[in-house]
C-alpha cells in the first residue's frame, strides 16, 4: 500500500503538506528544504527531497511503531551503516510531532494545521498516527503542488 505526500508550501521555517492514505487526508509539517552538499538535503536540518521512497517498519526507543523512508538514489538510507559513503541521510521517519522543533528531518502528521504562538503546527499528531496506522504502508510518493516547488 502506498502513501502520497503532497507538499503545499516550502517556507523558510517549515515545509507543509497533505498526506493521503487512501481517501484519508492528514496535515503534515517538516523542516524547511535546505540544500546540502549531497542529494538528500542538509542532514538534521532539512526535509528530504521530493521523490519515491520505500517504507520500512521501525520501532523507536520509546516503543512507538513508525516507518523509515529509504531511497539510496536520493541520499536517504535506513541506518547510518547502510550509507555507501560517509554522506547520506538516515532514520528519516514518519512519527508524531506537532511543531517543526519536534522533528529532525522527519515527517509529522496531524489531524489539521493551525498557528499557535506565531508558529505553524499540526494538531493531534499522536491521534493522527494512530488513525494512520503507518506500518501498514510499504511506499510513499512525495511531490510538490504546482507553484510550491523548491526554490
Task: Quote the pLDDT of residue 129.
Answer: 97
Q: Is the pLDDT of residue 148 over 80?
A: no
Pick the more confident residue, 106 or 145. Answer: 106
Between CA 140 and CA 149, with CA 146 as vertex, the angle to 5 degrees is: 75
Parallel, antiparallel, or unpaired: how do β-strands 24-30 and 51-59 relate?
unpaired
Task: Quote the pLDDT of residue 147.
Answer: 64
Pick the more confident residue, 40 or 32. Answer: 32
* Residue in this structure with the C-alpha cell 493522527, named with its chain if needed: 128
Mean pLDDT of 2-13: 96
Q: Is the pLDDT of residue 39 over 90?
A: no
pLDDT category of residue 33 using cuts at 50, 70 and 90: very high
- pTM for this one? 0.93
Task: Quote the pLDDT of residue 150.
Answer: 53
Mean pLDDT of 116-133: 97
Amino acid at each position: 500500500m502506498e502513501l502520497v505526500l503532497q507538499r503545499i508550501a516550502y517556507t523558510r521555517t517549515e515545509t507543509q503538506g497533505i498526506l493521503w492514505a487512501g481517501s484519508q487526508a492528514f496535515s503534515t509539517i517538516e523542516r524547511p528544504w535546505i540544500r546540502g552538499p549531497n542529494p538528500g538535503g542538509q542532514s538534521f536540518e532539512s526535509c528530504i527531497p521530493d521523490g519515491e521512497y520505500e517504507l520500512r517498519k521501525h520501532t523507536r526507543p520509546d516503543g512507538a511503531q513508525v516507518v523509515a523512508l529509504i531511497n539510496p538514489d536520493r541520499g536517504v538510507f535506513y541506518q547510518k551503516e547502510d550509507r555507501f559513503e560517509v554522506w547520506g541521510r538516515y532514520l528519516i521517519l514518519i512519527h508524531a510531532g506537532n511543531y517543526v522543533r519536534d522533528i529532525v528531518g522527519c515527517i509529522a502528521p496531524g489531524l489539521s494545521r493551525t498557528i499557535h504562538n506565531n508558529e505553524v503546527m499540526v494538531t493531534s499528531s499522536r491521534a493522527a498516527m494512530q488513525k494512520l496506522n503507518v506500518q501498514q504502508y510499504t511506499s510513499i510518493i512525495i511531490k510538490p503542488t504546482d507553484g510550491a516547488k523548491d526554490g
